[in-house]
Every structure is written in structure tokens, then in C-alpha cells.
Structure 1
Amino acid sequence: MPFRITEQAANEIRLSNHAALGQGQHLRVAAKRKTDGSIGYAMGFDEPAETDTISTQHDVQILIGLASADLLAGAVLDYTKPDDDESDQFIFLNPNDPGFVSPDGQR
């Protein structure tokens, strides 16, 4: 199952980074396994590399490098308000992460 972003996440990406997207920059999403087994995430704007997987979702071009592809397979990037927080933020819902709990409370 491929990595995907929600429409809410895409809207926020386009609003907050309109200038970068207009200059041929794409959203790069990266993941790396931490020493405790959990997964750390990074996002930023970048130009495509030869080995990147490139997809377009909700008018946002997304780059994923080879080193991150397996860790991000099946993950979803959303923009929402977590239960214990006051402000909306980007969150990764990733069944590959050992600490993952789905929105319906299932592990």
C-alpha cells in the first residue's frame, strides 16, 4: 500500500508553502528507524532525485527516497488536532511504527 496524504494535509502544505511549490519544489517525506524501534519523520521541500518515488496527491507532488520507502509504505500524513493538543498539526499514521494506534484505537 503506498504512502498517501489527506486532503487536509495537502491544503495546509499548499497554504503554508505556496512559494516553494511554485518554484518546482516538491514535498519530500522521509522516515528513519530510531534506536528504540520507533520511526522518526521529516518533511521539507526539495527537488527530485533520480531514485525518488514521485506521486501527486491533491495537487501536491510528493518525493520519497529509497531509504524511506519501506518505512512509509501504508502510512498516511494528516493535518488534524490530536486529542491532547490545542492546535492542528501534521501527524503520521503509520502501521509500520511499533507504537502505532489507529484512529479507531486498534494496534
Structure 2
Amino acid sequence: MFKLTTAAAEQVLKAAKQGNAEGMSLRLAAARKPDGAIEYRMGFEDSVGEDDIRFQSEGIDLVMAPEDVPLLDETVMDYVEIEEGKPHFIFLNPKDPNYRPPADA
């Protein structure tokens, strides 16, 4: 299933607080682009549909539509600083053709 790293969960909590979205679930969505890559979307949502998949990772309530599960299953969302001073969320998804496993530290 989809997982958050500790760093991603901490940033999600900060974003929820800053955006007055505390207590809301984080909705995740994905779509396959024409080149095969995967586009990721997320946002806070206070209403959850009857068919939505609900679960938790790192204490964060997550929700996704059933049709997004096949693309997001086995994905890890992290929050990293690739360029100095420019941290952002990344999606580590072995189903994405652009995925490269992280180098062992």
C-alpha cells in the first residue's frame, strides 16, 4: 500500500496547520501521462466518498479513489531537499518508468 516517510508526514502536518486543514484527510490521486510517466496530485479534503479507500500512514489519514489504487500501490511519498533550499515532495513509485531506486546509504 501507499506509505509516507516520517519527513513527508511532518510536512503534511505543517501544511495542514498553515492551511487551516487540520483534521482533514490527505487525498491522493494519480494519472498516467501519454509518455507512460505518472502525474501525482494531492490535497486536503474533509469529505470522503462511500467508495473511497481510507487508511493511515505515519499517523496521517489518507484517502484515494479506488481507481487510483493500482497506480499508487507500493508508492512511498517522501519530503526531500534535492536542491539546496528547495525541499519538495517526491513519489518513489516502481510503476513509474522514471522511477530510480534510491541509492543505499
TM-score where L is the length of structure 2: 0.89
Q: Once the 2 structures are TM-superposed, how far is the Cα of residue 21 of structure 1 from its aligned partner?
A: 2.2
- Write out per-residue CA displacement over residues 28-64 of structure 1, whole angstroms, 9 at most, x where no aligned residue: 0110000111000001011211111111122210001
SS at match of 1:21: coil
Distance of 2:60 and 2:80 partners within structure 1: 18
TM-score where L is the length of structure 1: 0.87
Partner of 2:21: 20
Query: When the two structures are aligned, how many residues end up with a matched partner?
Result: 100
Partner of 1:72: 72
Distance of 1:21 and 1:60 partners within structure 2: 11
In structure 1, runs of 5+ residues without a counterpart are none
Structure 1 stretches of 4+ with a deviation exceeding 6 A read none
SS at match of 1:13: helix
- Write out per-residue CA displacement over residues 48-88 of structure 1, whole angstroms, 9 at most, x where no aligned residue: 11111111122210001112100001000000112xx2211
Distance of 1:96 and 1:28 partners within structure 2: 20
More strand by share: 2
Distance of 1:57 and 1:99 partners within structure 2: 24
**1:72-91 → structure 2 map (5 Å cutoff):** 72-82=72-82, 85-86=83-84, 87-91=86-90
Amino acid at match of 2:51: T
Partner of 2:40: 41
Identity value in percent: 36
In structure 2, runs of 5+ residues without a counterpart are none
Distance of 1:21 and 1:35 partners within structure 2: 35
